[in-house]
Amino acid sequence: MTETLKRTLRDSSAMRWAMLILLSGLTFSTYWFQDFFSGLKGLMESEMGFSSEEFGRILALTTIANMFGMIIIGGIMLDKWGIRVAGIVFGGLAVLGGSISALAASGFFGTEHGTMLNMIIVGRVLFGSGLEVVCVVATRTIVKWFKGYDLALAMAINMGFGRLGSAMGTALSLDIGGGHVSPAVTFAASLIGLALIMFLIYTVFDIKLDKQEKANSDKSGEVCDPEEDFKFSDLVALIKNKSFLYIALLCVTFYAAIFPFMQYAPDLLINKFGFSEILPQAGEVILWGSKAIGASSVYLIFFLFAILFAVVPNNFENKQTRFLFKTGALIAFCVYLFVMKDILAIWLGNGAKTASLIPLGTIIFTPIFGNYVDKKGKAASLMILGSLLLIFAHISLSILDNVYIAYFGLLSLGVAFSLVPAAMWPSVAKIVAENRLGTAYATMFTLQNWGLALFFWGIGALLDFVNQGIPEGQPKDYTIPILVLVGCGVISIFLSFLLKKADRKQNYGLELPS
């Protein structure tokens, strides 16, 4: 007689979401460190003497190790060694890289221009070597805990934490630095260290879950076949899978049109539309005597609204209760916006704060779209819509000179940045076998890094080229660099259509509810 199977930790809704929070600490901190330099570009030029090309070089070389296979190696390690070992090893590498960058910015290795530049790059390369594998670990772990339980929503919330880190890093770096680069870098590096501690706490529960599932397997009498060792033929087969290739290339073209732009967006808004570089005193939010904490509270309230609107109501079975809860959250959020309208109006005239609208939009919309994918499907269709919004956003910021259209373009970019990832990442789990997801996600991140490195460095070099001869202090022209990104949006639409066509033939279920 088969024994009754016991509930495991992953069968508890509260435990699943608690684990997601612990995992999302790494996502939040690494995204912060990845993007916080964008708010410091002008300060790095004035305080450290860096050019746009050198700024772009720092960003581009962050991913150099990943371009030559580090993520694939990490993905293989993840599939062979498991979540815990890979998370600790590559999380530790990200901490080491962040620490070296912080020491370099403080002048620890020397104050010469070349020395500071090179050592910041060394730190960023080490950080980048751990960064993408950490993202793979987080994604793979969410599949482990949430497959069959709102997987797309869980991935969307994890991405929301990442976007929250991007938004806060971009908007708060100047406040945290107090007019200097070094304190902002030190703070960003410290966040990764704290997140690694959170991951170590998570591993305790992960070990217990594995023991529970093994015990249930023994009781049920099921014999689980051991996973085969990784073979490079698996990687070849993955690349030959047309559907996977479409989604991997979409990952490259879409993110190439987003991430490089985010790094240059504050500078663009300052140069093209005359936004302020330093936030006026009237726009400061003071909480417990701190400007940084006060500004952080704004982003946290936006994120809390997204969670209350898109996540919490799913736990209510009664439709009327769900409607009332969502309505209450929306009313409370509108009241908050009304109270903060004067301060937010000033923020919308500041380069860094306005640029943070891009990830801020994803904080609100990514959980909502993730929930939609779980309930309704339509993943490929949402990728097409997101790519269309991407094209509109870049055209509104490059060709048109109307500031109000520019605001709408930034908001559209934030929505696009929610739509495509919320649909794309869960779709991989439908196309690829679970025991090869680590390698699959790692391959996607590797291809993505080739595109990002080209565009991070290329946009900076192109910006210097098209603006050569313009006197220092005069506005830079961003039109041609951004039009290049429009081309990425066009290719993204084409790939999304190919993926939708492949879904009809292979019946992956991308357009169906989870």
Tens digit of pLDDT for each residue in 432-448? Answer: 876 677 677 777 877 88
Nearest-angstrom CA–CA distance, 362 and 364: 5
CA 11-323-306 angle, 5° bins: 65
First to last CA, the chain: 33
| pLDDT at residue 190, as a whole number | 94
- The whole-number pLDDT of residue 472 equals 66
Contacts of 99 (CB under 8 A, 6+ apart): 123, 189, 193
pTM score, whole prediction: 0.69
Position 197 scores a pLDDT of 94
Helices (H), 274-318: 291-310
Comparing C-alpha atoms, which of 413, 325, 310, 300 is closest to residue 367?
A: 310
**pLDDT for res 223:** 44
Handedness of CA 486, 504, 446, 202 (dihedral sign): positive
Question: What is the reported pLDDT for 224?
Answer: 44
> Would you say 371 and 58 are in contact if contact means Cβ atoms under 8 Å apart?
no
pLDDT tens-digit series, residues 251-294: 888 888 887 777 777 877 887 888 888 888 888 888 777 777 78
Query: How confident is the prediction along the chain (514 residues), in pLDDT tens digits per residue?
Result: 445 557 777 878 888 888 998 988 988 998 899 888 877 877 888 888 888 788 878 877 777 766 666 767 776 777 777 788 888 888 999 999 999 999 998 888 878 888 888 898 899 988 988 877 787 788 888 888 887 777 777 877 887 788 788 878 877 887 788 778 889 999 999 999 999 999 999 999 988 888 877 776 666 555 444 444 555 666 677 777 888 888 889 988 888 888 777 777 787 788 788 888 888 888 888 877 777 778 788 888 887 887 777 666 666 777 888 888 888 888 998 999 999 999 988 988 888 788 877 776 676 777 778 778 877 888 888 889 989 998 998 888 878 778 888 888 888 888 888 888 888 878 887 888 766 776 777 778 778 878 877 877 777 777 778 777 776 666 677 777 777 888 888 999 999 888 888 888 888 778 777 6
pLDDT in tens, 187-228: 999 999 999 999 999 999 988 888 877 776 666 555 444 444
Measured between alpha carbons, how far is residue 434 from residues 91, 108, 151, 427, 438 in Å?
A: 23, 45, 13, 12, 8
- 366, 160 in Cβ contact below 8 A? yes
DSSP state of 351: H
Predicted local confidence at residue 226, as pLDDT: 42
Neighbours of 471 (CB within 10 A): 5
Alpha helical stretches, state H, 275-356: 291-310, 319-339, 341-347, 351-355
Q: CB-based contacts of 81: which residues, under 8 Å, 6+ apart?
A: none
Mean pLDDT of the chain: 81
